[in-house]
Structure 1
Amino acid sequence: MSRPKKKLAYDAEKIMKELMAAVVESYDETRELKLTAEEFGMSALKIRKLLITAGAYCNDISDEVNELYYAGKTVAEIQRIIGLGKSSVNGYLPYTKAIYKPEELSLNAERINIFRSRQQAVRELATDMGEDKLWETVVAFQNYPFHTATGLPFVYELKRGRNGECNKELIVSRRKESKTVVWSSFMLAFQKAVELQGEIVDRPKSLGDIRGISFIYPMLYRFGVIEVPEKIAKKMELRRPLSKR
Protein backbone atom coordinates (compact mmCIF):
# COMPACT_ATOMS: atom_id res chain seq x y z
CA MET A 1 0.00 0.00 0.00
CA SER A 2 1.49 3.32 -1.08
CA ARG A 3 1.82 6.10 1.44
CA PRO A 4 -0.14 9.30 0.83
CA LYS A 5 1.96 12.14 -0.45
CA LYS A 6 3.01 14.57 2.23
CA LYS A 7 1.60 18.05 1.68
CA LEU A 8 4.20 20.78 1.47
CA ALA A 9 3.98 23.54 4.06
CA TYR A 10 4.06 27.04 2.58
CA ASP A 11 4.73 30.35 4.29
CA ALA A 12 1.97 32.51 2.79
CA GLU A 13 3.48 35.84 3.86
CA LYS A 14 6.91 34.91 2.50
CA ILE A 15 5.53 33.71 -0.82
CA MET A 16 3.48 36.90 -1.18
CA LYS A 17 6.58 39.06 -0.62
CA GLU A 18 8.68 36.98 -3.03
CA LEU A 19 5.96 37.02 -5.68
CA MET A 20 5.63 40.81 -5.43
CA ALA A 21 9.41 41.21 -5.69
CA ALA A 22 9.54 38.97 -8.77
CA VAL A 23 6.61 40.74 -10.44
CA VAL A 24 8.16 44.15 -9.75
CA GLU A 25 11.47 42.98 -11.23
CA SER A 26 9.73 41.72 -14.35
CA TYR A 27 7.64 44.88 -14.73
CA ASP A 28 10.74 47.05 -14.35
CA GLU A 29 12.09 45.24 -17.41
CA THR A 30 8.96 45.12 -19.58
CA ARG A 31 7.12 48.29 -18.42
CA GLU A 32 3.93 46.63 -19.68
CA LEU A 33 1.30 44.83 -17.59
CA LYS A 34 0.42 42.42 -20.40
CA LEU A 35 3.99 41.21 -20.87
CA THR A 36 4.52 40.74 -17.15
CA ALA A 37 1.19 38.91 -16.93
CA GLU A 38 2.30 36.52 -19.68
CA GLU A 39 5.62 35.95 -17.93
CA PHE A 40 3.84 34.69 -14.82
CA GLY A 41 0.75 33.15 -16.41
CA MET A 42 -1.51 35.52 -14.48
CA SER A 43 -4.14 38.09 -15.46
CA ALA A 44 -3.04 41.68 -16.01
CA LEU A 45 -5.50 42.69 -13.27
CA LYS A 46 -3.74 40.49 -10.69
CA ILE A 47 -0.34 41.75 -11.81
CA ARG A 48 -1.49 45.35 -11.45
CA LYS A 49 -2.86 44.64 -7.97
CA LEU A 50 0.45 43.07 -6.91
CA LEU A 51 2.36 46.06 -8.28
CA ILE A 52 0.05 48.50 -6.49
CA THR A 53 0.52 46.54 -3.26
CA ALA A 54 4.29 46.79 -3.71
CA GLY A 55 4.06 50.52 -4.44
CA ALA A 56 5.49 50.01 -7.93
CA TYR A 57 2.53 51.08 -10.08
CA CYS A 58 0.12 53.98 -10.21
CA ASN A 59 -1.96 55.97 -12.66
CA ASP A 60 -4.68 58.61 -12.36
CA ILE A 61 -7.41 56.04 -11.69
CA SER A 62 -5.45 54.09 -9.08
CA ASP A 63 -4.50 57.33 -7.34
CA GLU A 64 -8.14 58.44 -7.18
CA VAL A 65 -9.41 55.03 -6.03
CA ASN A 66 -6.84 54.79 -3.25
CA GLU A 67 -7.31 58.38 -2.11
CA LEU A 68 -11.04 57.74 -1.72
CA TYR A 69 -10.47 54.38 -0.04
CA TYR A 70 -8.03 55.75 2.54
CA ALA A 71 -10.37 58.69 3.11
CA GLY A 72 -12.85 56.13 4.44
CA LYS A 73 -15.03 55.54 1.38
CA THR A 74 -16.42 52.04 0.84
CA VAL A 75 -15.95 50.16 -2.41
CA ALA A 76 -19.62 50.77 -3.23
CA GLU A 77 -19.20 54.51 -2.67
CA ILE A 78 -16.07 54.59 -4.83
CA GLN A 79 -18.02 52.79 -7.56
CA ARG A 80 -20.67 55.51 -7.56
CA ILE A 81 -18.15 58.36 -7.46
CA ILE A 82 -15.85 57.11 -10.21
CA GLY A 83 -18.27 55.00 -12.22
CA LEU A 84 -16.30 51.75 -12.12
CA GLY A 85 -17.53 48.23 -11.44
CA LYS A 86 -16.78 46.47 -8.16
CA SER A 87 -14.07 44.21 -9.64
CA SER A 88 -12.40 47.21 -11.29
CA VAL A 89 -12.30 49.16 -8.03
CA ASN A 90 -10.90 46.15 -6.16
CA GLY A 91 -8.32 45.75 -8.91
CA TYR A 92 -6.92 49.19 -8.11
CA LEU A 93 -6.68 48.52 -4.38
CA PRO A 94 -3.71 46.77 -2.74
CA TYR A 95 -3.94 43.31 -1.23
CA THR A 96 -4.68 43.56 2.47
CA LYS A 97 -3.60 40.01 3.30
CA ALA A 98 -1.60 37.18 1.80
CA ILE A 99 -3.22 34.42 -0.25
CA TYR A 100 -3.72 31.32 1.88
CA LYS A 101 -5.39 28.86 -0.53
CA PRO A 102 -3.02 25.82 -0.69
CA GLU A 103 -3.36 25.37 -4.45
CA GLU A 104 -2.70 29.07 -5.07
CA LEU A 105 0.29 29.07 -2.72
CA SER A 106 1.77 26.09 -4.55
CA LEU A 107 1.19 27.70 -7.95
CA ASN A 108 2.71 31.02 -6.86
CA ALA A 109 5.75 29.27 -5.40
CA GLU A 110 6.22 27.53 -8.76
CA ARG A 111 5.82 30.83 -10.63
CA ILE A 112 8.54 32.40 -8.50
CA ASN A 113 10.92 29.47 -9.01
CA ILE A 114 10.41 29.43 -12.78
CA PHE A 115 10.93 33.19 -13.07
CA ARG A 116 14.08 33.10 -10.93
CA SER A 117 15.54 30.15 -12.83
CA ARG A 118 14.96 31.93 -16.15
CA GLN A 119 16.53 35.16 -14.91
CA GLN A 120 19.53 33.26 -13.59
CA ALA A 121 19.94 31.34 -16.85
CA VAL A 122 19.94 34.56 -18.89
CA ARG A 123 22.49 36.18 -16.57
CA GLU A 124 24.82 33.20 -16.78
CA LEU A 125 24.49 32.98 -20.56
CA ALA A 126 25.50 36.66 -20.81
CA THR A 127 28.83 35.88 -19.15
CA ASP A 128 29.42 32.54 -20.87
CA MET A 129 28.16 32.30 -24.45
CA GLY A 130 28.81 28.59 -24.67
CA GLU A 131 26.68 25.63 -25.67
CA ASP A 132 26.22 24.36 -22.10
CA LYS A 133 24.82 27.66 -20.84
CA LEU A 134 22.64 28.00 -23.92
CA TRP A 135 21.19 24.55 -23.26
CA GLU A 136 20.46 25.43 -19.63
CA THR A 137 18.64 28.55 -20.82
CA VAL A 138 16.60 26.60 -23.36
CA VAL A 139 15.61 24.14 -20.62
CA ALA A 140 14.54 26.99 -18.31
CA PHE A 141 12.31 28.67 -20.91
CA GLN A 142 10.08 25.71 -21.73
CA ASN A 143 6.42 26.79 -22.01
CA TYR A 144 7.36 30.48 -22.09
CA PRO A 145 4.86 32.51 -24.22
CA PHE A 146 6.95 33.45 -27.26
CA HIS A 147 5.83 35.15 -30.48
CA THR A 148 7.50 35.03 -33.88
CA ALA A 149 8.68 38.16 -35.68
CA THR A 150 5.28 38.25 -37.42
CA GLY A 151 3.40 37.99 -34.11
CA LEU A 152 2.36 34.33 -34.12
CA PRO A 153 2.32 32.83 -30.60
CA PHE A 154 4.16 29.62 -29.75
CA VAL A 155 5.61 27.67 -26.86
CA TYR A 156 8.02 24.78 -26.84
CA GLU A 157 8.91 21.77 -24.76
CA LEU A 158 11.92 19.49 -24.97
CA LYS A 159 11.47 15.98 -26.24
CA ARG A 160 12.13 13.38 -23.56
CA GLY A 161 13.62 9.94 -23.86
CA ARG A 162 12.34 6.77 -22.20
CA ASN A 163 14.37 7.57 -19.10
CA GLY A 164 12.59 10.91 -18.78
CA GLU A 165 15.66 13.01 -19.59
CA CYS A 166 15.40 15.89 -22.04
CA ASN A 167 16.72 15.27 -25.53
CA LYS A 168 18.24 18.12 -27.49
CA GLU A 169 15.17 18.47 -29.68
CA LEU A 170 12.50 21.16 -29.30
CA ILE A 171 8.83 20.41 -29.90
CA VAL A 172 7.32 23.75 -30.90
CA SER A 173 3.55 24.11 -30.49
CA ARG A 174 1.87 26.81 -32.55
CA ARG A 175 -1.91 26.88 -32.35
CA LYS A 176 -3.10 23.48 -33.63
CA GLU A 177 0.18 22.30 -35.11
CA SER A 178 3.58 21.38 -33.82
CA LYS A 179 7.02 21.37 -35.38
CA THR A 180 10.43 20.10 -34.38
CA VAL A 181 13.61 22.16 -34.09
CA VAL A 182 16.77 20.08 -33.85
CA TRP A 183 19.69 21.20 -31.72
CA SER A 184 22.14 21.36 -34.62
CA SER A 185 19.93 24.02 -36.25
CA PHE A 186 19.72 25.96 -32.99
CA MET A 187 23.50 25.89 -32.64
CA LEU A 188 24.03 27.15 -36.20
CA ALA A 189 21.79 30.14 -35.49
CA PHE A 190 23.42 30.71 -32.09
CA GLN A 191 26.95 30.71 -33.52
CA LYS A 192 25.93 33.26 -36.15
CA ALA A 193 24.19 35.33 -33.47
CA VAL A 194 27.37 35.44 -31.39
CA GLU A 195 29.27 36.67 -34.45
CA LEU A 196 26.71 39.46 -34.91
CA GLN A 197 26.71 40.65 -31.31
CA GLY A 198 26.62 44.42 -31.14
CA GLU A 199 24.68 44.62 -34.43
CA ILE A 200 20.93 44.80 -35.02
CA VAL A 201 19.70 41.50 -36.45
CA ASP A 202 16.87 42.84 -38.57
CA ARG A 203 15.17 39.56 -39.53
CA PRO A 204 15.32 35.84 -38.73
CA LYS A 205 17.10 34.85 -41.94
CA SER A 206 19.95 37.21 -41.10
CA LEU A 207 21.03 34.32 -38.85
CA GLY A 208 20.96 31.91 -41.79
CA ASP A 209 18.55 29.95 -43.93
CA ILE A 210 17.97 27.47 -41.12
CA ARG A 211 14.97 25.25 -40.51
CA GLY A 212 13.02 26.59 -37.55
CA ILE A 213 14.76 29.98 -37.58
CA SER A 214 11.44 31.83 -37.16
CA PHE A 215 11.19 30.22 -33.69
CA ILE A 216 14.88 30.43 -32.78
CA TYR A 217 15.07 34.17 -33.55
CA PRO A 218 12.71 35.39 -30.76
CA MET A 219 14.26 32.92 -28.34
CA LEU A 220 17.75 34.26 -28.92
CA TYR A 221 16.45 37.80 -28.45
CA ARG A 222 14.73 36.92 -25.16
CA PHE A 223 17.89 35.14 -24.02
CA GLY A 224 19.87 38.35 -24.58
CA VAL A 225 22.02 36.99 -27.41
CA ILE A 226 20.86 39.33 -30.20
CA GLU A 227 19.38 42.81 -30.64
CA VAL A 228 16.42 43.36 -32.97
CA PRO A 229 14.59 46.42 -34.33
CA GLU A 230 12.05 47.85 -31.88
CA LYS A 231 9.16 47.29 -34.28
CA ILE A 232 9.97 43.57 -34.41
CA ALA A 233 10.37 43.39 -30.63
CA LYS A 234 6.83 44.76 -30.35
CA LYS A 235 5.47 42.15 -32.73
CA MET A 236 7.22 39.43 -30.76
CA GLU A 237 5.74 41.01 -27.61
CA LEU A 238 9.12 40.76 -25.96
CA ARG A 239 11.18 43.30 -24.11
CA ARG A 240 14.71 42.88 -22.90
CA PRO A 241 15.84 44.65 -19.71
CA LEU A 242 16.10 48.38 -20.36
CA SER A 243 19.70 48.43 -19.12
CA LYS A 244 20.73 46.08 -21.93
CA ARG A 245 19.30 48.10 -24.82
Structure 2
Amino acid sequence: MKKTRKPGGGRKKLKPEYDAGKNLKEQIDAAVALYEEDCSLQSIADALNLNPIKVRKLLIAAGVYESEVAEKVQDTFEEYRETQSYKEAILSTAAALDLSKASVTSYLPYQKGVYFPSTASKEKISVGAERQRRYRAMKRWRDEPTEENFWGVVLAYAGVKFKTYSGLPFTYEVRKGRNGEYTKELWIDRRENSKSLAWSSIVLALGNIKEEVVERPKALGDIRGVTYIYGMFYRFGLIDVPDEVKEKMGRPKDRKK
Protein backbone atom coordinates (compact mmCIF):
# COMPACT_ATOMS: atom_id res chain seq x y z
CA MET A 1 0.00 0.00 0.00
CA LYS A 2 1.39 3.36 -1.03
CA LYS A 3 1.93 5.72 1.86
CA THR A 4 0.39 9.15 1.69
CA ARG A 5 3.03 11.85 1.73
CA LYS A 6 2.67 14.18 4.66
CA PRO A 7 2.56 17.93 4.04
CA GLY A 8 6.02 19.36 4.30
CA GLY A 9 7.56 15.97 3.83
CA GLY A 10 10.43 15.12 1.55
CA ARG A 11 14.13 14.50 1.77
CA LYS A 12 15.63 15.84 4.95
CA LYS A 13 18.65 18.07 4.79
CA LEU A 14 21.84 16.21 5.57
CA LYS A 15 23.04 19.29 7.45
CA PRO A 16 19.99 21.22 8.62
CA GLU A 17 22.27 23.67 10.44
CA TYR A 18 24.09 24.55 7.22
CA ASP A 19 23.25 27.98 5.83
CA ALA A 20 25.22 28.90 2.70
CA GLY A 21 24.07 32.52 2.79
CA LYS A 22 25.06 32.92 6.42
CA ASN A 23 28.45 31.30 5.84
CA LEU A 24 29.13 33.58 2.87
CA LYS A 25 28.25 36.66 4.92
CA GLU A 26 30.58 35.55 7.70
CA GLN A 27 33.41 35.11 5.20
CA ILE A 28 32.72 38.51 3.66
CA ASP A 29 32.67 40.21 7.07
CA ALA A 30 35.94 38.56 8.08
CA ALA A 31 37.65 39.48 4.81
CA VAL A 32 36.47 43.08 5.00
CA ALA A 33 37.65 43.44 8.61
CA LEU A 34 41.17 42.34 7.64
CA TYR A 35 41.15 44.39 4.43
CA GLU A 36 40.31 47.54 6.38
CA GLU A 37 43.40 46.88 8.47
CA ASP A 38 45.44 47.21 5.25
CA CYS A 39 46.15 43.50 5.00
CA SER A 40 47.13 42.18 1.56
CA LEU A 41 44.96 39.72 -0.34
CA GLN A 42 47.52 37.00 0.29
CA SER A 43 47.66 37.63 4.04
CA ILE A 44 43.86 37.63 4.23
CA ALA A 45 43.78 34.40 2.26
CA ASP A 46 46.28 32.83 4.66
CA ALA A 47 44.29 33.96 7.69
CA LEU A 48 40.97 32.64 6.34
CA ASN A 49 42.43 29.54 4.67
CA LEU A 50 41.22 30.67 1.25
CA ASN A 51 42.90 31.51 -2.03
CA PRO A 52 43.55 35.19 -2.91
CA ILE A 53 41.14 35.13 -5.86
CA LYS A 54 38.25 34.10 -3.63
CA VAL A 55 39.24 36.79 -1.13
CA ARG A 56 39.13 39.39 -3.88
CA LYS A 57 35.68 38.15 -4.94
CA LEU A 58 34.46 38.43 -1.34
CA LEU A 59 35.73 42.01 -1.14
CA ILE A 60 34.10 42.86 -4.46
CA ALA A 61 30.81 41.44 -3.16
CA ALA A 62 31.16 43.70 -0.12
CA GLY A 63 31.78 46.69 -2.36
CA VAL A 64 35.14 47.61 -0.85
CA TYR A 65 37.62 46.35 -3.46
CA GLU A 66 38.60 48.93 -6.06
CA SER A 67 40.73 48.50 -9.17
CA GLU A 68 40.61 49.62 -12.79
CA VAL A 69 40.41 46.02 -14.03
CA ALA A 70 37.52 45.16 -11.69
CA GLU A 71 35.65 48.30 -12.72
CA LYS A 72 36.20 47.61 -16.44
CA VAL A 73 35.02 44.01 -16.14
CA GLN A 74 31.94 44.94 -14.13
CA ASP A 75 30.97 47.86 -16.37
CA THR A 76 31.36 45.75 -19.52
CA PHE A 77 29.43 42.87 -17.97
CA GLU A 78 26.57 45.16 -16.96
CA GLU A 79 26.30 46.54 -20.49
CA TYR A 80 25.93 43.04 -21.94
CA ARG A 81 23.68 41.93 -19.09
CA GLU A 82 21.03 44.43 -20.14
CA THR A 83 20.25 42.30 -23.22
CA GLN A 84 21.82 38.91 -22.45
CA SER A 85 21.52 36.15 -19.89
CA TYR A 86 24.04 35.94 -17.06
CA LYS A 87 26.13 33.24 -18.78
CA GLU A 88 25.99 34.94 -22.18
CA ALA A 89 27.09 38.25 -20.66
CA ILE A 90 30.11 36.54 -19.06
CA LEU A 91 31.16 35.04 -22.39
CA SER A 92 30.66 38.34 -24.21
CA THR A 93 32.66 40.20 -21.60
CA ALA A 94 35.47 37.66 -21.83
CA ALA A 95 35.60 38.05 -25.61
CA ALA A 96 35.45 41.85 -25.51
CA LEU A 97 38.25 42.19 -22.95
CA ASP A 98 40.29 39.21 -24.15
CA LEU A 99 39.99 37.46 -20.80
CA SER A 100 39.11 33.93 -19.81
CA LYS A 101 35.67 33.12 -18.47
CA ALA A 102 37.26 32.36 -15.08
CA SER A 103 38.96 35.76 -15.01
CA VAL A 104 35.69 37.55 -15.70
CA THR A 105 33.79 35.72 -12.97
CA SER A 106 36.63 36.35 -10.52
CA TYR A 107 36.00 40.09 -10.85
CA LEU A 108 32.24 39.83 -10.33
CA PRO A 109 30.55 39.68 -6.91
CA TYR A 110 28.99 36.46 -5.69
CA GLN A 111 25.50 36.23 -7.12
CA LYS A 112 22.36 34.64 -5.75
CA GLY A 113 19.21 34.61 -7.81
CA VAL A 114 18.61 37.33 -10.35
CA TYR A 115 21.35 39.72 -11.36
CA PHE A 116 20.26 43.35 -11.32
CA PRO A 117 22.10 45.90 -13.51
CA SER A 118 23.35 49.29 -12.33
CA THR A 119 20.06 50.91 -13.32
CA ALA A 120 18.03 48.75 -10.93
CA SER A 121 16.31 50.39 -7.97
CA LYS A 122 18.10 50.26 -4.63
CA GLU A 123 15.50 47.92 -3.21
CA LYS A 124 16.67 45.21 -5.62
CA ILE A 125 20.43 45.37 -5.00
CA SER A 126 22.71 44.51 -2.11
CA VAL A 127 24.44 46.96 0.21
CA GLY A 128 27.72 46.06 -1.47
CA ALA A 129 26.27 46.83 -4.89
CA GLU A 130 25.07 50.20 -3.60
CA ARG A 131 28.57 51.03 -2.41
CA GLN A 132 29.99 50.05 -5.78
CA ARG A 133 27.42 52.27 -7.48
CA ARG A 134 28.45 55.24 -5.34
CA TYR A 135 32.15 54.58 -5.94
CA ARG A 136 31.69 54.41 -9.71
CA ALA A 137 29.56 57.56 -9.81
CA MET A 138 32.20 59.48 -7.86
CA LYS A 139 35.02 58.12 -10.00
CA ARG A 140 33.22 59.16 -13.20
CA TRP A 141 32.84 62.67 -11.85
CA ARG A 142 36.46 62.91 -10.69
CA ASP A 143 37.67 61.66 -14.08
CA GLU A 144 35.37 64.06 -15.91
CA PRO A 145 34.00 66.77 -13.56
CA THR A 146 30.92 67.76 -15.54
CA GLU A 147 27.62 68.88 -14.05
CA GLU A 148 25.95 65.78 -15.49
CA ASN A 149 28.43 63.45 -13.78
CA PHE A 150 28.02 65.26 -10.47
CA TRP A 151 24.28 64.81 -10.78
CA GLY A 152 25.03 61.10 -11.08
CA VAL A 153 26.83 61.28 -7.72
CA VAL A 154 23.85 62.97 -6.10
CA LEU A 155 21.49 60.31 -7.45
CA ALA A 156 23.78 57.50 -6.25
CA TYR A 157 23.75 58.85 -2.69
CA ALA A 158 19.97 59.25 -2.43
CA GLY A 159 18.75 57.56 0.75
CA VAL A 160 22.19 57.56 2.39
CA LYS A 161 22.40 59.01 5.88
CA PHE A 162 24.17 62.35 6.29
CA LYS A 163 24.72 64.72 9.21
CA THR A 164 24.60 68.48 9.37
CA TYR A 165 27.25 70.76 10.90
CA SER A 166 25.51 70.41 14.27
CA GLY A 167 25.22 66.62 14.00
CA LEU A 168 21.54 66.34 13.03
CA PRO A 169 20.92 63.30 10.79
CA PHE A 170 19.11 63.59 7.47
CA THR A 171 18.59 61.82 4.16
CA TYR A 172 17.28 63.01 0.83
CA GLU A 173 15.35 61.57 -2.06
CA VAL A 174 15.01 62.59 -5.71
CA ARG A 175 11.54 62.19 -7.09
CA LYS A 176 10.47 61.52 -10.64
CA GLY A 177 8.09 63.65 -12.63
CA ARG A 178 5.15 62.54 -14.77
CA ASN A 179 7.50 61.81 -17.66
CA GLY A 180 9.37 59.30 -15.52
CA GLU A 181 12.54 61.38 -15.37
CA TYR A 182 14.13 62.70 -12.20
CA THR A 183 13.31 66.27 -11.25
CA LYS A 184 16.25 68.53 -10.40
CA GLU A 185 15.07 68.94 -6.83
CA LEU A 186 16.03 67.07 -3.67
CA TRP A 187 13.66 66.46 -0.81
CA ILE A 188 15.43 66.57 2.54
CA ASP A 189 13.92 64.25 5.12
CA ARG A 190 14.86 65.31 8.65
CA ARG A 191 12.74 63.89 11.43
CA GLU A 192 9.11 64.61 10.55
CA ASN A 193 9.73 67.48 8.17
CA SER A 194 10.68 67.49 4.50
CA LYS A 195 12.30 70.44 2.79
CA SER A 196 13.18 70.94 -0.84
CA LEU A 197 16.70 71.68 -2.04
CA ALA A 198 17.24 73.00 -5.55
CA TRP A 199 19.90 71.45 -7.77
CA SER A 200 21.04 74.95 -8.77
CA SER A 201 21.90 75.64 -5.12
CA ILE A 202 24.11 72.55 -4.97
CA VAL A 203 25.92 73.53 -8.17
CA LEU A 204 26.46 77.04 -6.82
CA ALA A 205 27.95 75.71 -3.58
CA LEU A 206 30.17 73.31 -5.51
CA GLY A 207 31.73 76.23 -7.35
CA ASN A 208 32.34 78.04 -4.05
CA ILE A 209 34.68 75.42 -2.59
CA LYS A 210 37.95 77.32 -2.10
CA GLU A 211 39.72 75.47 0.69
CA GLU A 212 40.09 71.78 1.59
CA VAL A 213 38.90 72.43 5.15
CA VAL A 214 35.63 74.36 5.11
CA GLU A 215 35.13 75.88 8.55
CA ARG A 216 31.34 76.26 8.43
CA PRO A 217 28.40 75.93 5.99
CA LYS A 218 28.20 79.67 5.24
CA ALA A 219 31.72 79.45 3.78
CA LEU A 220 30.07 77.77 0.80
CA GLY A 221 27.89 80.82 0.27
CA ASP A 222 24.69 82.40 1.51
CA ILE A 223 22.61 79.67 -0.09
CA ARG A 224 19.24 78.27 0.93
CA GLY A 225 19.76 74.80 2.40
CA VAL A 226 23.55 75.16 2.59
CA THR A 227 23.64 73.37 5.96
CA TYR A 228 22.50 70.20 4.16
CA ILE A 229 24.83 70.76 1.21
CA TYR A 230 27.71 71.04 3.69
CA GLY A 231 26.86 67.62 5.12
CA MET A 232 26.54 66.12 1.66
CA PHE A 233 29.87 67.50 0.44
CA TYR A 234 31.62 66.15 3.54
CA ARG A 235 30.16 62.70 3.02
CA PHE A 236 31.08 62.84 -0.66
CA GLY A 237 34.68 63.56 0.32
CA LEU A 238 34.72 66.93 -1.47
CA ILE A 239 35.53 68.93 1.65
CA ASP A 240 37.04 68.35 5.06
CA VAL A 241 35.75 69.87 8.29
CA PRO A 242 37.42 71.02 11.53
CA ASP A 243 38.33 68.23 13.95
CA GLU A 244 35.82 69.40 16.55
CA VAL A 245 33.05 69.25 13.94
CA LYS A 246 34.01 65.69 12.97
CA GLU A 247 32.99 64.60 16.46
CA LYS A 248 29.43 65.64 15.61
CA MET A 249 29.36 64.73 11.93
CA GLY A 250 31.32 61.48 12.30
CA ARG A 251 33.95 60.04 10.01
CA PRO A 252 32.10 58.38 7.12
CA LYS A 253 33.66 55.03 6.18
CA ASP A 254 33.18 55.55 2.47
CA ARG A 255 34.20 59.22 2.16
CA LYS A 256 36.88 58.12 -0.34
CA LYS A 257 34.08 57.13 -2.66
Asked whether the 8 Å contact 1:126–1:224 carries over to 2, the reply is no
Aligned to 1:20: 29
Q: Does 1:202 align with 2:212?
A: no
User: Equivalents in 1 of 2:187, 2:34: separation in Å?
Assistant: 29
Unaligned runs of 5+ in 1: 1-10, 30-53, 55-100
Identity of aligned residues (%): 38
In structure 2, give the amino acid aligned to 1:162: R
Structure 1 counterpart of 2:224, one-letter code? R
- Name which of 181, 188, 206 aligns with 1:165: 181
Taking a change above 3 Å as real, the CA distance of residues 190 and 242 of structure 1, as seen in their structure-2 partners, is: closer
- The answer for the alignment partner of 2:141 in structure 1 is 125
Secondary structure at the aligned position of 2:126 is classed as: helix
Distance in 2, matches of 1:108 and 1:19, equals 20
| TM-score normalised according to structure 2 size | 0.52
Q: 2:247 aligns with which of 211, 224, 234?
A: 234
Which TM-score applies when normalising by structure 1?
A: 0.55
Aligned length: 160
Aligned counterpart, 2:158: 142
Q: Is the 8 A contact 1:15 1:108 kept in 2?
A: no
The 5 A counterparts of 1:58-69 are: none
Give the aligned partner of residue 217 of structure 1: 230
Asked whether the 8 Å contact 2:237–2:255 carries over to 1, the reply is no
Q: Contact 2:234–2:240 (CA<8 Å) still a contact in 1?
A: yes
Q: Which has the larger radius of gyration?
A: 2
Q: Unaligned regions of 5+ residues in structure 2, if any? A: 1-19, 39-61, 63-111, 114-121
Q: Which has the higher contact order (CA 8 A, sep 6+)?
A: 1
Pairwise CA distance, 1:229: 1.1
SS in 2 for 1:181: strand
**Kept after mapping to 2: 8 A contact 1:144/1:156:** yes
> Counting helix residues as a fraction of each chain, which structure ranks higher?
1
1:211 Cα deviation from its structure 2 partner: 0.3
Question: How big is the alpha-carbon RMSD for the aligned residues of Structure 1 and Structure 2?
Answer: 3.9
